[in-house]
Amino acid sequence: MVKIVVAHVNHMLREEADDDEQFVKNYCEKNGIEFYAKSIDVQNLANTNKIGTEEAGRIARYEFFDEVLRKTGANKIAIAHNKNDKVETILMNTLRGSGMEGLKGIEPKRGNVIRPLIECERTQIEKYCEENQLNPRIDKTNFENLYHRNKIRNVVIPYIQKEFNPNIVKTVNRLADIVTLEDEYMERQTRKAYQELVLEENQREIVIDLKKFNLQEIVIKSRLIRYIIKRLFGTTACIEKIHIDDVIKLCDNNVGNKYLTPNRNVKVLVKNHRVYFSVITI
């Protein structure tokens, strides 16, 4: 038997936030759905950690979702991202100079997170609500162009639809599908190359063969570095192109005992024909 529980985060950013929470709570009570809620001062979280409000809200939400997941023994976290959200993400990533991974947009599944509405356009969802006489709550800040995503949603996409391509949502999603297939192929090639290069691996360090690394194509070198970092840390956050280029240059030079620290957690050392990727303890 499938059981659904609802987790709601009150970001404490809007006057209507408490009313939104009560709306969801009432709906769950009416329909016999288990309900969990948490109020988090997202603005304070952003200020304390010196990050953007959007990022702080995302971190707060997923931490709470994981908490509810463990408490209820659930096995999936369902998020309501749709096709339009995916296009917005891809355009944002493009403007930031993202690589192939950023052009994939929002994936339908990653770990225990699923997105059952990712193949639905926003207009389809709105039409469904109208036809079924549903009365969803609308976050009014979605119409305020204070954040990059809102500007993409309210300014950039409508302009492209009007002046260039009315089907931009479908077009960008097709691009994402193509990129995803190519990225999956490149990831398989990267894993294959890694198995041929790796000499030692444990939780705190990965060692690879320098000569074999230098013989790889530049695109595989870049992906190998990200792949190794992800194996050590579970993420490639804070590892940018400049760090990748520095590591490749270090390996090309092979001039003795040098090291780079792409971020505060990673040390890369070239020594004795080997490349050492190590976890730094601060």
Instruction: Note the pLDDT tens digit of each residue in 222-273.
Output: 999 999 999 998 877 677 888 899 999 999 988 656 677 766 678 899 999 9
With CA atoms as reference, report the closest residue to 79 among 49, 26, 120.
120
Give residue-wise pLDDT tens across range 204-230: 999 999 999 999 999 999 999 999 999
Q: In what order do the strands lie in the sheet with 266-271?
A: 198-201, 205-209, 274-279, 266-271, 258-260
Q: How far is CA 249 from CA 180, 221, 268, 272, 277, in A?
A: 29, 11, 12, 17, 15
Choice between 282 and 85, residue whose per-residue pLDDT is larger: 85
- Enumerate the domain spans of the chain: 202-279
Q: Does position 145 have pLDDT exceeding 90, yes or no?
A: no
Residue 258 and residue 268 in contact, taking contact as beta carbons nearer than 8 Å = no
Q: Tokens 């990831």 belong to which residue?
A: 187
Report the distance separating Cα 252 and Cα 216, nearest Å: 11
Percent of the chain having pLDDT more than 90? 69
CATH of segment(s) 202-279 = 3.30.465.60
Q: Which amino acid is at 141?
A: T
Report the distance separating Cα 143 and Cα 165, nearest Å: 22
